[in-house]
Amino acid sequence: MPTRIRLLVEHRRRVFEAIAPVRRVADRLAAGSARIADGLALHHLVLRTQVAELFETTLASMPPSRRVVALDAADVAAGWETWDLLRRTRGLGPPAAAKVVATLLQGVLTPPTTGARRRSA
């Protein structure tokens, strides 16, 4: 799985860096344009489907109650909004943002170790 995470993060890094200026404008215009909003919704569906298919085996091995939450979390971790937040709000460069996304995905998709005691947050 680490290879799949690395490949997904590298792919997203290249795509998100390439589309960033246009995507930011589209995000601003979506409220006033059904066509733009529909395009962004389709883009999100494509990205979510990619995550679901790439990690299908991992997700399928999880209990059903965890599977849905894990897919939602992985989708958010690898999504445009997270990338944009890391790049613009946090001021991270692409390598540092990619490392954060990979860490989030690893945390979501790695099964907890058996017998490990969890600390309460």
Per-residue pLDDT tens digits for 95-111: 999 999 999 999 999 87
Residue 121: predicted pLDDT: 46
Residue percentage of the chain with pLDDT more than 90:
88
Cβ count near 33 (within 10 Å): 12
The rounded mean pLDDT for the chain is 92
Domain layout of the chain by residue ranges: 2-108
60 has a pLDDT exceeding 50: yes
